[in-house]
């Protein structure tokens, strides 16, 4: 990370010197960044169209002669508020093969253990697993322990607040089993508390775009998919060859995706495999959750820039996408503020091109069109969702800058002090 920061500082100094020396003019630099920004918008537009095509085309009917053994792993730490609803959904999973559900109780201090124990006694295929204390704390270490005590051909991860639809697991296994060189399969996550307030509605719409439509688009165009942390299936032999989860990776799903892709495997996207999960209902919980996510992805950005081999073959698509989402997107988001203010105040214009306000307007239209496209694919158009979509660029999307800076500061502080970034559990709501 130090090398990356030094390189970024040198680049900024170089650009500043070039402007001062007259090698670049501000006008030329602005035109260059404008072209890059329009390319970025074009890329996301292509993903949207490809995702719509994949999402709406008829999926083939699959039936296996024999369904492999599957272990469901559910990490749980102080989940008494939601774990009963989760286990009610788990015992209703419709799977034709052998299925074992391991609830990995990570030293819960509330009533989580008692609730799990009741299901353990009632259902033969539900197992209450008490995970020993250890370091570093977090989901990766717990999942590694779950892999040690289970032995299914595949394992499927669900978060402790998830309620998968009865056929979700079956659909994942069918696609993973017939797709050549598939390491597993990835389903879709929907928001079950969408109507709670404006924040949960915005999160739900965001998931429809970036967690499904963009995923589907990348699979359609590049045959690359990313693990989502929940409702995701992985072949046991693949993760064993990779040495398990990285216990220091907070964004364990994204980090494992890169290693799986690096080995030449695929992760097909299965939109019809659906789980429902609870999203943050207050801004404080949302900020805490997204800060953890961003810190985890900054760890991955650091690895892609410092470890050789991340820009080769199929892995290059993931690495570039990671940089575009968590570095380049933030840069252009800040730049869009500059364009907006310069155009609004008429302080600067490009006479031989298009007005700065029009460039900003194009960005707004593309973003909002993506939100509308996702709702069209999901058949989730409502007056409230449409109104919310028009607001999101000015409100929800702008939170990303704050979250990025906050996460980067925390991440750099931890690196300087040589501290392990801790795992923060997302608060649940009744």
* The CATH number of the domain covering residues in 70-305: 3.90.550.10
Tokens coding 203: 């999160």
| The pairing of beta strand 154-157 with beta strand 70-76 | parallel
Domain segments of the chain: what residues? 21-56+306-416, 70-305
Which range is least confidently modeled, 101-115, 169-183, 302-316, 336-350? 336-350
Instruction: Give 388-429 pLDDT, tens digit per residue.
Output: 999 998 899 888 888 988 998 988 888 888 776 666 778 888
The predicted-structure confidence for 333-384, as pLDDT tens digits, reads as follows 666 666 666 666 766 555 544 555 666 777 788 889 889 988 988 888 899 9
pLDDT, one tens digit per residue, over 55-107 is 888 877 888 999 999 999 999 999 999 999 999 999 999 999 999 999 999 99
Pairing mode, if any, of strands 184-191 and 232-235?
A: antiparallel
Secondary element (H or E) of residue 274: strand 269-277
Q: Which single residue is written with the structure tokens 């500059």?
A: 338
What percentage of the chain has pLDDT greater than the value 90?
48
Rg, Å, the chain Cα set: 23
Q: Which residues, including other chains, have CB under 8 Å from residue 246's CB and lie 6 or more apart?
A: 140, 252, 255, 256
Tell me the per-residue pLDDT of 45-54, one tens digit each, with 9 for 90 and over.
888 899 999 9
Torsion of CA 241, 245, 246, 250, to 10 degrees: 150
Residue with tokens 């072209």: 35
Is residue 173 a contact partner of residue 186, using CB atoms and an 8 Å limit? no
* The model's pTM: 0.85
Considering the chain, what is the average pLDDT of its residues? 85
Residue 345 CB burial class (10 angstroms; 0-12, 13-18, ≥19): exposed
Q: Is the peptide bond before 136 cis (omega within 30 degrees of 0)?
A: yes
Tell me which long-range contacts 300-306 makes (C-beta under 8 A, separation of at least 24).
300/249, 300/251, 300/254, 300/255, 300/258, 301/4, 301/326, 301/327, 302/1, 302/4, 303/255, 303/258, 304/258, 305/3, 305/4, 306/1, 306/3, 306/4
In 3D space, the residue among 195, 216, 215 whose CA is nearest the CA of residue 204 turns out to be 195
Q: Which 3 state secondary structure label does DSSP give 157?
A: strand
pLDDT digits (tens, 9 = 90+) for 239-290: 999 999 998 888 889 889 989 998 889 999 999 999 999 999 999 999 999 9
Q: What is the widest separation between alpha-carbon atoms in the chain? A: 77
pLDDT at 23: 45
pLDDT score for 149: 95
pLDDT at 165 over 70: yes
DSSP classification of residue 427: P
Question: ∠ at Cα 270 (264, 271), nearest 5°?
Answer: 140
Sign of CA pseudo-dihedral 52, 58, 61, 62: negative
């Amino acid at each position: 990370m130090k090398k990356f920061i030094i390189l970024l500082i040198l680049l900024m100094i170089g650009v500043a010197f070039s402007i001062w020396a007259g090698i670049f003019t501000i006008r030329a630099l602005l035109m260059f960044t404008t072209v890059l920004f329009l390319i970025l918008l074009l890329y996301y537009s292509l993903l949207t169209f490809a995702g719509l095509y994949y999402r709406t085309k008829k999926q083939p009917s699959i039936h296996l002669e024999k369904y492999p053994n599957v272990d469901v792993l559910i990490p749980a730490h102080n989940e008494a508020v939601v774990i009963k609803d989760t286990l009610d959904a788990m015992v209703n999973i419709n799977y034709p093969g052998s299925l074992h559900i391991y609830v990995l109780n990570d030293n819960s201090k509330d009533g989580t253990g008692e609730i799990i124990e009741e299901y353990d006694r009632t259902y033969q295929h539900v197992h209450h697993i008490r995970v020993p204390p250890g370091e570093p704390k977090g989901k990766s270490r717990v999942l590694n322990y779950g892999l040690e005590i289970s032995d299914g051909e595949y394992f499927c991860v669900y978060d402790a607040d998830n309620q998968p639809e009865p056929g979700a697991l079956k659909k994942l296994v069918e696609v993973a089993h017939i797709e050549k060189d598939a390491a597993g399969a990835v389903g879709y996550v929907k928001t079950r508390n969408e109507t709670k307030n404006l924040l949960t509605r915005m999160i739900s719409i965001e998931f429809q775009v970036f967690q499904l439509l963009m995923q589907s688009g990348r699979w359609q165009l590049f045959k690359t998919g990313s693990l989502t942390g929940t409702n995701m299936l992985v072949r046991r032999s693949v993760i064993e060859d990779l040495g398990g989860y990285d216990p220091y990776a907070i964004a364990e799903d994204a980090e494992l995706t890169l290693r799986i892709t690096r080995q030449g495997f695929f992760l097909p996207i299965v939109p019809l495999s659906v789980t429902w999960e609870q999203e943050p209902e207050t801004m404080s919980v949302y900020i805490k959750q997204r800060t953890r996510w961003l810190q985890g992805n900054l760890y991955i950005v650091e690895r892609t820039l410092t470890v050789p081999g991340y820009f080769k073959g199929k892995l290059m698509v993931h690495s570039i996408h990671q940089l575009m989402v968590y570095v380049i997107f933030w840069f252009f988001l800040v730049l869009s503020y500059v364009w907006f203010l310069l155009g609004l105040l008429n302080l600067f214009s490009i006479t031989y091109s298009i007005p700065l306000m029009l460039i900003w307007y194009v960005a707004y239209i593309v973003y909002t069109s993506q939100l509308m496209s996702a709702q069209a694919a999901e058949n989730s158009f409502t007056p409230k969702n449409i109104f919310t979509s028009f607001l999101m660029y000015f409100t929800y999307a702008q939170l990303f800058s704050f979250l990025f800076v906050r996460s980067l500061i925390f991440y750099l502080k931890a690196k300087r002090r040589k501290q392990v970034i801790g795992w923060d559990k997302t608060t649940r709501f009744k």
